[in-house]
Structure formats: C-alpha cells, structure tokens
Amino acid sequence: LPAGLSQWFPALEVLDVSGTGLAEMGAELLSLPCLHTLLAKNNRLGGPGSLPKGLGQAPLARSLRVLNLSGNRFAEVPPALLQLRGLRSLSLGGNRLHSIPPDIQELRSLEFLYLGGNFITSIPPELAKLPSLKYLVLCDNKIQSIPPQLAQLHSLRSLSLHNNLLTYLPREILNLVHLEELSLRGNPLVVRFVRDLTYNPPSLQELAGRTIKTRNVPYAPSDLPETLVRYLSLASNCPNPKCGGVYFDSCVRQIKFVDFCGKYRLPLMHYLCSPECSSPFSSASQSSTSQSSTSQSESDSEDEASVAAHRMQKVLLG
C-alpha cells in the first residue's frame, strides 16, 4: 500500500485493492480509523508479512466490518484476523486453507462467512458459537461430516455445503428451522447409500420373533428366558403403511426425500423390514441416483405421505 495513504485520505471508509498483485499490506493500513470495508481479492497475499503487525490492536480492529481476502494464498486463517471483533463479513474463499481454527468463535459479530473453494476437511464445533451468523458458505471443500452443534446457529438463513465429501447428515440439522437455503448437491451422501444398500437375511431367532410380534402370539416373562423377553421388546415397526411388519437386526436401508420447512427436500435414511417392502419406495432410490428430488416428490403416494413425520426425522443419514 502506498505510503502516506492515511494522510491523503484520513476519512477513507472503503478500500478496494483487488487484482493488483499485492503481496503484503503495510502499516499504513493501521492508521485508517474510519475504514469499514477492505477488499483485497485475487492477489498474492498469504506469505509471511502479508498483514501488518499489530492489526488486532489498531483502531482498524474496531472499525472494520467487511473483509474480503478471497483468491489469495493463505494456508491458514491469520490469527490477527480473529482479533477483528467488529467484523460482520469475512471472505477467504479460493485460498489454500486446510482447517478452520476453533478461535473463529471470537468473531461474535460475524454475519457472513465465506470459506468456499479451499481444502477444509472438517468443521470445528466452535463455529456454532457465532450467534449472529446468517450465511455460511463451505462449498467446494473436502468436508466429510457436519458437527451436530451446527444446529445451535439459530440465526442461520443460508448453508452452502455443495461439492464436499459428506456421507451423512446429523438429524440435528432439522433444528435449523429458519434456513431459507440449503445446498447439498455434489456430495456422495445419497449415492453412497444407494450403492451400499444391502440386506442380510434374518436369523432364525429374528424370524421367530417377527412371527410372535406380527401374529400377536401371547407370552409371559415366565414362558421365555429373560434375554428373549428383552429381545422381543426391541422390535421396530416397519414404516411402510402397507406392511405392518416388524424387524429387529435385519432391515433394508432406504433413502427418502422428506419435505423440510416447505422449502426443499432433505434426503434422510429410514429402514424397512424386508426387500418386499421397498417397492412402494423404489422411486426414492432411483431419484437418489439421478439426484432428482422432483420425480420422487411426484411419485409419493398418499399412504407414504401419511407416515408420521417424527419417524422420518429420528434417523441419521449414515
């Protein structure tokens, strides 16, 4: 940055130095007490000395509201940025980040966080301690799981997770009732389960237990060993309304697209007692393979729609 910047523009509020080949920002930046927006996209920032020393203690740390450092070369979130307690918008997309520091929780005024297009593999639970966060963009990374704590982001309106490596969703994500946008495309969470849908034949014990339960065969604790009485108490009802059967250990996993808040359809896992029960839901797996939830929506029968919603929301996808 040019020397004397603060002398020439002492009341500067917005500074855009994007696409200038900038490799470092000098101490002149610290003496801009009115600066609230700093845009430094698509430069060469990221090496030692890219940011001025004392950034967290300068007046800028209190005045800065918007900081965009996307398209640079940062391999980690600079610790100095975590001292900018007045930040409301932070963009570090298209860098070389491999992780999100737990101290991100210090940016408690943050409303917009863009970390897309990096190499991030996990999300720290501390991220859920940002009470004002409304927009969280983590697309195009290598994230494999979502911490259930993310459901504590009660202000969240938009969550972008597309093009990651997600293989399951925690059911807690259903608690984000204020979400208006949820992007999940380009993840293996559906394809993986379609590929791995297997059915192990039930054991003789399970077959006998199913018969007792479905035919209402009477028994008393004195008739059976305690272990079998306990086993029979663990029967799960098949959610297929046309079946009425039960299962214990052997079941068929199925993907079901469930309406969520009336805004989009969320893929969740549920369980059926046998392959014969999968026929009413077969379109779910077909739509999962093609990643088309619209066809599944059109093929849902009235009987399927009558399945209690809480049964669908109790399961984890994975």
Q: What is the pLDDT of residues 15-73, one digit of tens each?
A: 999 999 999 988 888 878 889 999 999 999 999 889 988 888 888 888 999 999 999 99
What's the CA gap between 12 and 6, in Å, rounded? 8
Q: Which segment of 57-61, 85-89, 313-317 scores lowest on mean pLDDT?
A: 313-317
Average pLDDT over residues 227-242: 87
What's the CA gap between 44 and 23, in Å, rounded? 5
Question: What mean pLDDT is reported for the chain?
Answer: 79
What's the CA gap between 239 and 246, in Å, rounded? 9
The pLDDT value recorded for residue 143 is 96
The pLDDT value recorded for residue 65 is 96
The secondary element (H helix, E strand) that includes residue 195 is helix 189-196
CA nearest neighbour of 143 among 163, 165, 127, 160: 165
The pLDDT value recorded for residue 9 is 67
Query: For strand 14-16 and strand 37-39, is the pairing parallel, antiparallel, or unpaired?
Result: parallel
User: 227 is written with which tokens?
Assistant: 């272990």
The pLDDT value recorded for residue 185 is 83
Residue 251: exposure state from Cβ atoms within 10 A (0-12, 13-18, ≥19): buried
What's the CA gap between 93 and 137, in Å, rounded? 9
Average pLDDT over residues 127-137: 96
* pLDDT above 90 for 260: no
* pLDDT above 60 for 128: yes
* pLDDT above 90 for 100: yes
DSSP state string for 267-310 = EEEEEESSGGGGGGGHHHHHHHHHT-HHHHHHH--HHHHTS-HH
Q: Which segment of 13-17, 58-62, 94-98, 101-105 scores lowest on mean pLDDT?
A: 58-62
Average pLDDT over residues 222-245: 87
Q: Which segment of 20-24, 96-100, 245-249, 251-255 scores lowest on mean pLDDT?
A: 251-255
* pLDDT above 60 for 264: no
Q: What is the pLDDT of residues 184-206, one digit of tens each?
A: 888 887 555 555 556 678 899 99
| 303 Cβ contact list (under 8 Å, min separation 6) | 241, 242, 280
| Beta strands per DSSP E along 7-121 | 14-16, 37-39, 66-68, 89-91, 112-114
Q: Which segment of 19-23, 119-123, 150-154, 172-176 scores lowest on mean pLDDT?
A: 172-176
291 pLDDT band, cuts 50/70/90, is very low
The pLDDT value recorded for residue 285 is 32
- The larger pLDDT score, comparing residue 294 to residue 141, is at 141
User: 139 is written with which tokens?
Assistant: 């697309």
Percent of the chain with pLDDT over 70: 75
The pLDDT value recorded for residue 295 is 31
- The larger pLDDT score, comparing residue 233 to residue 303, is at 233
What is the set of domains in the chain, with CATH numbers? Answer: 5-196 (3.80.10.10), 204-232 (no CATH)
CA 69 to chain centre: 23
Average pLDDT over residues 224-247: 87
The pLDDT value recorded for residue 306 is 32
